[in-house]
Structure 1
């Protein structure tokens, strides 16, 4: 079995919240694995992907949920029963050119959901995640953007393609060309934040499930983690003598709860994006935003 609808991105644009709200609907099925990434990495060996850390560290932090086998992917949907809408939510699908064609081949009648965020805000949120949560960004935001071309040339994966991921026009155009306007819905993150229930109900209708169902929307998806203390963060999350000792005496579930509680206590408000860099990035993205507005036939709040 394959899904009959997919949330394909964009990353850091509210897809986790959208997935969480949709999966509460009794007529909607998602596997527990939110990001199987199958159509991005089908048949590939993700253990050799490049980045600023050893391959085993990248796999543990970024790719541990990724499925590359057709059989394993189909197994994700074995528990689907009589649900009307069967979904996959993997944000790499929007950016990876091959993913769109693979989805169309496997599920040509699938409905596609895209949610887009101000590309500057999306970029910075992605950077903060890589820097603060995953500890996989060694550079400042300015240097990371400056090094992007070199990183891409060196084969680093999409998580370090900060500006490229936010160039939405070609990515959205690809899905509209492949699936047609009737099977692709594009939403704007800012609209979703302002009127979440209205957007969710519209999506319910698009998926053919009861639009009057009201999910619990009191929780949001992934929150930015920025440590107050790098030392405490190191104690909590690195493979050091302290937490190795704790793992020996605590059940794994209790240990993970302890780490999560420590991270919450050590969480701080992240620094703001410097205004000069914001202005520079806004100018960089504007030609793409203008083309996207023409494609979608609407003014975007960016």
Structure 2
């Protein structure tokens, strides 16, 4: 057994929604844990392969896939691409990129709602290098392009995906060699949004809400009882993205604009939507 494809990022670029859509395709067996993050943290990865492969229950002929954005957290994890190549040199890789400044804003919002980062945005995003580094898409994806070859790496733009999800899913079908027709009826509802969505503080509670027991309880416990309990357990809900000043956005763009040029070269197209409001 070997996993056939992986979505390796970027973080906060729609990978959760895309993973759910791929998991619903009859020719795909998706990992039971959407983001197992096995290869970036396990140096002796060969020793634990049986446990990793146990996360898949494929039917005959299905492709195996997973989605771990950790795999392109560079330079936080330096050798993930080498481990993945040693695991399966024919691995197909999907990498989604969004406007790099908007990704930073979404990343900060993600951390804010989870109470990971309470600092003001103009302090946080420059104090923690991960905010900027994870938007350096060229830096993150180049090791994979060099090792696996561009024919095994599908580069996608988040804004194009959100504008026409079905067309993007058809592109993925062609890349993976599966029938695109099942995607025509796919659910296009966004998932894993940081804004406007309540977040359970406890990981155990988050796991419980996805269990069959919880789903059965929802059917018998009145909402008038469920809602007060739920709100006692929730962290603060953010109804709108934190405010980033024009100066902070401009400074972030200055740090990332050279990488945008690299992405444009890799794609062979100019990303005018990203450049709007930042270049003249």
TM-score normalised to the size of structure 1? 0.74
Q: Determine which of 141, 144, 147 is the counterpart of 2:127.
A: 147
Following superposition of structure 1 onto structure 2, how do residues 42-57 of structure 1 map, counting pairs within 5 Å? Answer: 42-43=42-43
Native 8 Å contact 1:19 1:89 kept in 2: yes
Aligned match of 2:50: 71
Q: Distance in 2 between matches of 1:129 and 1:237?
A: 13
Aligned match of 2:117: 137
Aligned match of 2:39: 39
CA deviation after TM superposition for structure 1 residue 39, in Å = 1.0
Native 8 Å contact 2:138 2:263 kept in 1: yes
Aligned match of 1:208: 177
Aligned match of 1:279: 250
Cα shift readout 1:86-107 (whole Å, capped 9, x = no counterpart): 1010011122331111111111
Following superposition of structure 1 onto structure 2, how do residues 130-279 of structure 1 map, counting pairs within 5 Å? Answer: 130-132=111-113, 134-148=114-128, 161-213=130-182, 214-225=184-195, 237=201, 262=231, 268-279=239-250
Q: Distance in 2 between matches of 1:275 and 1:175?
A: 34
Aligned match of 2:109: 128
CA deviation after TM superposition for structure 1 residue 289, in Å = 0.8
Q: Distance in 2 between matches of 1:113 and 1:295?
A: 14
- Residues 110 and 266 (structure 1), Cα distance of their counterparts in 2 relative to 1, 3 Å cut: closer
Aligned match of 2:222: none
Aligned match of 2:223: none
CA deviation after TM superposition for structure 1 residue 2, in Å = 2.4
Q: Does 1:87 align with 2:61?
A: no
Question: Which runs of no fewer than 5 residues in structure 2 stay unpaired?
Answer: 206-212, 219-225, 275-280
Range moving further from structure 2, 195-204 or 83-92: 83-92
Cα shift readout 1:142-179 (whole Å, capped 9, x = no counterpart): 11123225xxxxxxxxxxx1011111112221111111
RMSD over aligned Cα, in angstroms? 2.9
Native 8 Å contact 2:144 2:153 kept in 1: yes
Q: Secondary structure at the match of 1:87?
A: strand
Native 8 Å contact 1:225 1:268 kept in 2: yes
TM-score normalised to the size of structure 2? 0.80
Native 8 Å contact 1:28 1:87 kept in 2: yes
Q: Distance in 1 between matches of 2:38 and 2:253?
A: 32
Native 8 Å contact 1:128 1:225 kept in 2: yes
Native 8 Å contact 2:93 2:154 kept in 1: yes
Question: Which runs of no fewer than 5 residues in structure 1 stay unpaired?
Answer: 45-67, 150-160, 244-250
Native 8 Å contact 1:173 1:295 kept in 2: no
Cα shift readout 1:231-288 (whole Å, capped 9, x = no counterpart): xx8xx7479xxx9xxxxxxx86659x75896359955223332222112211221111
Q: Distance in 1 between matches of 2:116 and 2:16?
A: 21
Q: Distance in 2 between matches of 1:227 and 1:76?
A: 28
Range moving further from structure 2, 191-200 or 213-222: 213-222
- Residues 265 and 147 (structure 1), Cα distance of their counterparts in 2 relative to 1, 3 Å cut: closer
